[in-house]
Chains A and B, each alone.
Chain A
Amino acid sequence: MKIEVLFPEICNLYGDLGNIRYIEQSLKDVEIINTSIKAKPAFVDERVDLIYMGTTTEKGLILAIDALKPYKEKIVELIDKGQFFLITGNALDIFGKYIESDWAEKIEGLGILDTTAKYKMLKRHNSFFVGNYVNHKNDKKAPCKVVGFKSIFGHTYPGESGKACEGMFVKEKGIGRNTEETSEGFRINNFMATYLIGPILPLNPILTEELLAEMGHECEAAFKDTAMKAYKERLDEMLSDRLHAVY
């Protein structure tokens, strides 16, 4: 499996790169291409199985948008052809129309997703999340439950076509794309973007197996017994009535 990690030198906050380490430990044969911010992305000229990008700083968002703008058409083409993308945390906003912040000028995103992020830089949103993931390869499979965390400066607010777009997850507890929507993140074909931060895959061994299976790599998630124990404990904890999702 060939994974291109976009801009790991800046898109690496909150343990997000733990996702890549977990895939490497779950699959035997993984090739990682780390593409730096000034380099031409590998996906432009060669086939990769997965394109990954994680959470970054607010300046990092601008750098990543600038770096990817020349390849916008290629990204759209790849999404249409079913290229797998996994985008976590605020990296989702790179693909939206705009980022509005009370600390900065309005930033134009790649405009691939019909959505606008709104940040309040002194009002951080912290919550946990439980949702469902629908396997796109095997529609007979029951949705798997996913646990995770959000720690962000705001939410994203889709336009009409954005609202109609499938989410990566369907919220069961916590916050979706914003406080109104039950969809969390976006899924277009195999382009998957979520506001959940950090090590989503190690936190969700079943999701890891399903995503890798969708990419054609059936395997058992690494250290599955321990990962499942942590996952089940967290799922039970998060679903208990005693706890509110928002910190």
Chain B
Amino acid sequence: MSKFKFFLGLWAGKLSIPLLKITKHNGTDYPGVLATKFCPDFLKYVQKPKKIVVITGTNGKTTVNNMLIDILEANGMKVFANRAGSNIASGISTVFIKGSSIFGKLKKCDIAVLEVDERSAFKIYPYIKPDVMAITSLSRDSILRNAHPQYIADILTKAMPEETTLVLNADDLISNRIAIDNKRVYYGIDKLPTDDKPYDGLLNDMQICPKCNGKLKYEFNRYNHIGKASCSDCDFSSPEAKIAVTGIDYDSKSFTVREDGKIYTYPLIADSFFNVYNLITLITVLRQLGFEHETIVESMNKTHIPDSRHAIDKVNDITLVTQMAKGKNATAASRIYDYITGIEGPKEILNMTYCAEDADHWSENICWIYDTDFELLNNKDVRKIILAGPRNADFKLRLLMAGIPEEKIVTEDDQMKAVSLLSFKKNDTICLLYAVDSVDMATKVRGEILRQASQAKTDTDASGEKLKSDNAMEISNAVMNTHEEKEAK
């Protein structure tokens, strides 16, 4: 009977795919939703690949997942994967529906690489048992859905198949204690010269020893609870990383990795520190899959960090950084603020990180902004912060509480009109920050910023001061198209 239900689900899901294409809804996980309506334990009956790798964690899982797929494919492997980020149970079901024949036979593959939402563990791991699971890290995420990182760690521990080998971040004392009886390999980033300044932000979810509740002392504390710690009252300490980054050279775009006393040099294919964690996660997973360092280096030289959430435009000596800052996620937002304040030179920020979906249907729970390190923006190079969208007053209050002078803060409900409040000064960086569900609006706003920045050239004055002009000038279609294509990918 259950097998019958499975086939009903499979066929219903398969039938829905062309219908969704016709109605231009082909990006959804509706086939999986439909299949599980017919067969709630649909994933139990799908044919499984012979080797399964899962990437999960609060941040970075899409990046690691997609790079891993690229490298495996580049090395001639047939990979069954959910590259599009359909990472909840219905999304994973959709991937299996698309990858299976009408008789339920899985298409030929050497390995499955699946990005899995960490909150969905109970719905997936009873059926899909990974051989290797990499956890990037666990940090605060949506209050409404994910509560707190220890809750997610508990879910993963309860749902973890005992045969799974875990690839864990030694520098994250929340995720590296998941499923303590499972076989595990730790990766990390050793103490670097840049780790001298301790994190003084708002969030650290590992301040006490998990063994005796004594105060944890950090040898270094990069941000939040990421770092290396030991207990002041007992023998507890962070685990030693087997594979670790030992140095990063941004000039030569390389970083060094130690394993078993040997040092290997890798290409640094990213400019942000948090992506180095993604790269060392990737390397450690590949090592678990039997890849030699030399092969990984060669493969990484041919790949790039896929980042549809980040774009840089340069128009008339004005740089526009467009960056998605996951709304409702204090940790991710804080990392983004850290990144943009690290960009050299004067900058103006156009902030649209409210939750657009809630603005339509609910009253957004903005508690997360009180966990976010807006204090980072209290920086002389941040000349103006324009708050655009429905939660302006909330963000303004939070910025004032962060010590940011009121004269630097401007609010405008209309996001398109907010563009006109930018100064468009030569050599400035404009940072456009938007939330996950504001992509459409962000695209329009970015277009308007580029249009006005492009106009500004017609009005350049001798002093190089204000460049903005009222004269319309066609924006470079080439620039826009490049980035729209990148986002579409």
Contacts and interface: CB of A to CB of B under 8 A. Distances in A.
A227 interface: yes
Interface in A181-214: 197-199, 202
Contact of A151 (B143, B204, B207, B400): B143
B77 interface: no
A124 B147 contact: yes
Contacts of B367: 14-15, 149, 151, 197-199
A234 B366 CA distance: 11
A162 interface: no
Nearest to B207: A9
Interface in B372-416: 391, 393-394, 396-398, 400-401
B213 A37 contact: yes
18 contacts: A9-B208, A14-B370, A15-B330, A15-B371, A38-B215, A58-B150, A58-B151, A63-B213, A103-B154, A122-B122, A124-B145, A151-B143, A198-B143, A226-B396, A229-B393, A230-B397, A234-B394, A238-B363
Nearest to A125: B144
B362 A223 contact: no
B364 to A, nearest CB: 9
B393 A57 contact: no
Contacts of B262: none
A23 to B, nearest CB: 11
A18 interface: yes
B397 A247 contact: no
B210 to A, nearest CB: 9
Contact of B362 (A17, A59, A122, A247): A247
B432 interface: no
Interface in A29-52: 36-38
B208 to A, nearest CB: 6
Contacts of A230: 391, 393-394, 396-397
A198 B202 CA distance: 14
Contacts, number: 102
Given A151-B147, A198-B370, A247-B144, A38 B397 contact: no
A57 B148 CA distance: 7
Nearest to A233: B393
Interface residues on A, range: 35 or more
A199 B370 contact: yes
B124 interface: no
Given A36-B215, A124-B145, A15 B369 contact: yes
A199 B208 CA distance: 24
A57 B207 CA distance: 13
Contacts of B214: 38
Contacts of A237: 363
A217 interface: no
A25 B371 CA distance: 17
Contact of B397 (A13, A16, A227): A227
Given A38-B214, A198-B370, A223-B400, A243 B393 contact: no
A149 B365 contact: yes
B363 A226 contact: no
B361 interface: yes
Nearest to A228: B393
B223 interface: no
A197 B214 CA distance: 27
Interface in B109-152: 122, 143-145, 147-148, 150-151
Contact of B371 (A14, A59, A223, A229): A14
A13 B146 CA distance: 12
Given A63-B213, A202-B370, A126 B144 contact: yes
A14 B215 CA distance: 22
B207 A25 contact: no
Nearest to B145: A124
B368 interface: yes
Interface in B324-379: 330, 361-363, 365, 367-371
Interface string B140-178: 000111011011001000000000000000000000000
Contacts of A134: none
A157 interface: no
Contacts of A112: none
Most chain B CB inside 10 Å of its own CB: which residue of A14, A128, A153, A233: A14
A222 B401 CA distance: 8
Contacts of B213: 37-38, 63
Interface string A230-243: 10011001100001
Nearest to A240: B363
A60 to B, nearest CB: 8
Most chain B CB inside 10 Å of its own CB: which residue of A10, A15, A63: A15
A151 B401 contact: no
A136 interface: no
B134 to A, nearest CB: 24
B148 A13 contact: yes
Interface in B186-234: 202, 204, 207-208, 213-215, 233
